[in-house]
Structure 1
């Protein structure tokens, strides 16, 4: 079987793509930085602002529910999850990190819809700040590339 896109550069042309973003409000300053970088990159990639739906939810555990509602609508070419989970002194970090990640993956697989998971899971706030801008930009690029790839594969 021939690999159709082997050796080709990623298709980052966002023209005409509809993107949904779900942003957690917990650790709001950090997730706002993720969103700012993500939205700026989506614009750079040619996504029209009117084709971007950006909603917020309380925290990372609520992200998959909102993603599922967006996926159920069949209005989007790709989705983006933005959040930040910082390790604390209890097991709660592992629970939130694992369950939010599993939920995002399940929605993506159940709907065969690309979801760029930019829910940061870090040891401390300094690590989160060091990653927020790059991960926000990366999420936009992943969403556009995967939306285009899924279109090619259909």
Structure 2
């Protein structure tokens, strides 16, 4: 019995990266921009794996987009051969074993300047009083 297979591509060799379509690449970069941006806005830094040269290029491009979006430099630095650190100036990443959450010690200089980068801390649109905005706007 013969079967016709459509849209079937050969599998890459073990360990080889698969290329994304242009649409998949744009979606992936948009997700990285949003997720890493939220994490950096919350704590001033984010770690993300980068196993391939393409992963590294994506993270560098996302760091450049975040810099342009916020007007504040986002540094993209390799931590080791398979992980990158994205951080704002003046923010150091905590070691992997450091406490997380509310029990973590506060910064030595009071509230973090990244609070102004979080979406819930945006200024209201011109002509709108802050009290008129719904919660979380």
Specify the structure having the higher radius of gyration (Cα): 2
Superposition TM-score, scaled by structure 1 size = 0.28
Higher strand proportion (structure 1 or 2): 1
Higher relative contact order (CA 8 A, sep 6+): 1
